[in-house]
Amino acid sequence: MTTPTQTGAPVMGRTYVLLILTLVYTFNHVDRQILVTLLEPIKADLGLKDSQLGLLTGLAFAAFYATLGIPVAMWADRGNRRNIIALSLTVWSGMTAISGLAGNFYHLLIARMGVGVGEAGGTPPATSIISDLYPPQQRAQALGVYTTGIGIGIMIGYILGAFVYAHYGWRVAFFVAGIPGLLLALLVRLTVKEPIRGLSEQRVQDDSEAPSLSETLTFIMGQSSYLWLLAGCLMICISANAYVAFISSHLQRFYGLTPGDVSLPLGLMIGGIGGLGAVLLGRVCDKLSNKDLRWRPWLIAVCAAVALPFSYMFLQAPTVNQAYLWNIVPSFIGLIYASIAYTASQELVQLRMRAFASAFTLFCLTLIGIGCGPWIAGGLSDYYLAQGMDPSKTLGLALKFILIFNGLSIICLVIAGRRYREDVARAQAA
């Protein structure tokens, strides 16, 4: 039985769509995490450097993922978002499977570029659909649920990658990760319905009202709170993705472990604890924001400040068990910046700018955060190695340097809150 909400959207229907889209986002991150989990055996098999690993996990993927997200979002603001998601899932799942055939660095580079091409069409239309199904007072929590796809995908990627690698090798792991996504794409196409735009807010517009690219960019650039929040999230994203890319390699090198040794603990922390944090903190954000919308950026600032000392102590831990303990707090609050960034990208723009705003947010977070974070950390590690440092310590030192970005993010996010309420009102009035 379905129960209508205040806006007329069926509860069970929108819950199903949210869960399916979260599952798609989970597959999105499984396909990314498989590579990260298996960096050490891939490095040994193909004879790669840390800077090349950083390129594979960062810029090679991010450049296509970010750039193509913009035209795909413009398409999504005008076309059928459900179909775009299904097509994109088909492409990135197929390219993930093809990654298992790579014979050298360049083969794998091209395959990861293909994954980036496919995944460009995932998040912008998905966040736009969710915003049409959930009103503002429920949106951060709904997008928090969606964001759990990051943590769950990372958890599955760690555990699945390590298990399949131990029994069948790293190449088979890419096939196991990619092929199920083709079946999920069919499920999306056949069972998800395209919602009415603006349904959750009773702000319904027709196709003729879609603004041009220049109008959209002009409006977004006039929202100062969005720009400051985006800058703060960029800083966090650089740090977060450097850690996601190299945390497994750091633990393996520093403590003399194997992929199988670290996969379950890291998967449970980043995926399980991180996913739980995204949902709970998303609910906290909605409650605080109902009283004062400025808590959208301010909550991320508080979380960044809390995570900073724990992340530093994680890198200082003398034993791996102590490292895991120090990493619990950063894992719990590590995903909240993404869900609030997407929430803000939907609140601070007009209805038919939402997919574009999500894609623009994703473009910046991806190209600068995902693209530069692992690349900077990998390059620093190679530099320290060239200076004669102990190979087991170079990644840890590089990740300590990356924490500077966390500190800078706090300043940007505090500033973002100053005009947040006024900018949301401007978007609604427009």
In a domain, residue 6? The reply is: no
Question: What was the pLDDT predicted at 200?
Answer: 59
How far is it, in rounded angstroms, from Cα 255 to Cα 62? 30
> Residue range 362-390: average pLDDT?
85
In a domain, residue 4? The reply is: no
In a domain, residue 1? The reply is: no
Handedness of CA 306, 307, 310, 312 (dihedral sign): negative
In a domain, residue 60? The reply is: yes
Q: How does pLDDT run across 71-109, given as a tens digit for each residue? A: 877 777 777 889 999 999 999 999 999 998 888 888 888
Question: What was the pLDDT predicted at 5?
Answer: 43
In a domain, residue 378? The reply is: yes
The DSSP secondary structure of 286-300, one letter per residue, reads: HHHHHH-TTHHHHHH
Angle at alpha carbon of residue 116, lines to 113 and 119, rounded to 5°: 155
In a domain, residue 132? The reply is: yes
Domain enclosing residue 166, as ranges: 11-196+213-429
Question: What was the pLDDT predicted at 3?
Answer: 42
In a domain, residue 395? The reply is: yes
Handedness of CA 281, 287, 293, 299 (dihedral sign): negative
Number of domains making up the chain = 1
10 or 142, greater pLDDT: 142
> Residue range 154-167: average pLDDT?
87
Q: pLDDT band at 394, cuts 50/70/90?
A: very high
Q: pLDDT band at 325, cuts 50/70/90?
A: very high
In a domain, residue 99? The reply is: yes
For tokens 């197929």, the residue is 94
pLDDT value at 70 more than 50: yes
Question: What was the pLDDT predicted at 48?
Answer: 83
Give buried/exposed letters for 14-43 (b at 16+ CB in 10 A, else e).
beebbebbbbbbbbbbbbbbbbbbbbbbbb
CATH number of the domain that 30 lies in? 1.20.1250.20
For tokens 């700018």, the residue is 353
